[in-house]
Amino acid sequence: MAAAKIKKGDSVVVLSGKDKGKTGTVAKVMPKEGKIVVEGVNIAARHRKPTQQNPQGGIDRFEAPMPISKVAVADPKDGKPTRVRFETKDGKKVRVAVKSGETIDG
């Protein structure tokens, strides 16, 4: 299995869809489904009927999963979207932003 290029806690930029251009932090990655949950992005609303647990009912808003292909890692230098490559530095495999050459982690 290939190494994950986007991880939990990364800052990402949305490339397409209704939230295009928004940035957020990755809350959850689901590699088997090829989806990702980003904080404050792709908000879905669910209308709930009143129940015994929730007698008020109302509208629940939550971050819905979105395809990983719709986001790109934000460059640490300028915050613009960039691709990620792997390099070996000091015997460790690290992620590097293609645009600026900056190390993303470690």
Tens of pLDDT, residues 9-44: 999 999 999 999 999 999 999 999 999 999 999 999
Residue 4's pLDDT is what? 81
Residues 6 or more apart whose CB falls under 8 angstroms from that of 95 comprise 5, 73, 84, 85, 86, 103, 104, 105
When pLDDT is averaged across residues 80-99 and rounded to a whole number, the result is 93
The phi, psi pair for 46, rounded to 5°, reads -125, 120
